[in-house]
Copies of this chain bind each other. A is one copy, B any other.
């Protein structure tokens, strides 16, 4: 998504889109090639593992992942079918469902992280200086912060 280089920004936005596109493609390619789960599975497993005893409700998880509830419902169906997570009912409020990671889920997440960590190093970190990494981090965190404010105003 770009048009005739507005000169301003040397089209950082266009490069941002391209880099994301190519980099995530490479990560998914490596995951598939080694029989490891795709990034969205990893994200759910990692969110559940971090949550630990403070179990996560389906809707909280959906908000963290920035995906729709219905999409998360089906993603968790797949994780459950693969034995990596389970649903647990809540006794206090019987509308809510908790998602919980299984021991197999933890094991696979760990294994996947070994692969993803190396891939991120190869694809991203190794190509950038520490100064560049920190500028990218700080700059993009301003972008994210601004979007948070925009959607807060929206409501």
Q: How many copies of the polypeptide does the oligomer hold?
A: 2
Contact bitstring A81-93, B, C-beta under 8 A = 1, else 0? 0000000000000
> Which secondary structure dominates where chain A touches chain B?
helix
Q: B residues within 8 A CB of A128?
A: 9, 12, 139, 142-143
B137 touches A23 (CB 8 A): no
The residue of chain B having its C-beta at the shortest distance from the C-beta of A136 within the complex is B12
Q: How far is the CA of A133 from the CA of B125 in the complex (A)?
A: 18
Instruction: State the Cβ distance, A52 to closest chain B Cβ, in Å.
Output: 13
Which residues 100-136 of A have a CB within 8 angstroms of B? 113, 116-117, 120, 122-128, 130, 132-136
Q: Please judge, given known A-B contacts A15-B140, A136-B16, whether A147 and B23 are in contact too, CB under 8 Å.
A: yes
Distance of A19 Cα from B137 Cα, bound (Å): 10
Question: Which chain B residue has the least Cβ–Cβ distance from A20?
Answer: B20
Contact A16–B124 (Cβ < 8 Å): yes
Q: Which one of A39-47, A55-63, A72-80 is at the B interface? A: A39-47
Which residue of B has the minimal Cβ distance to A21? B66
Contact (Cβ within 8 A) A22 B66: yes
Provide the bound-state CA to CA distance between A151 and B146, in Å: 35
Other A-B pairs beyond A18-B140, A127-B142, 5, CB < 8 Å: A1-B42, A8-B133, A124-B143, A132-B138, A135-B139
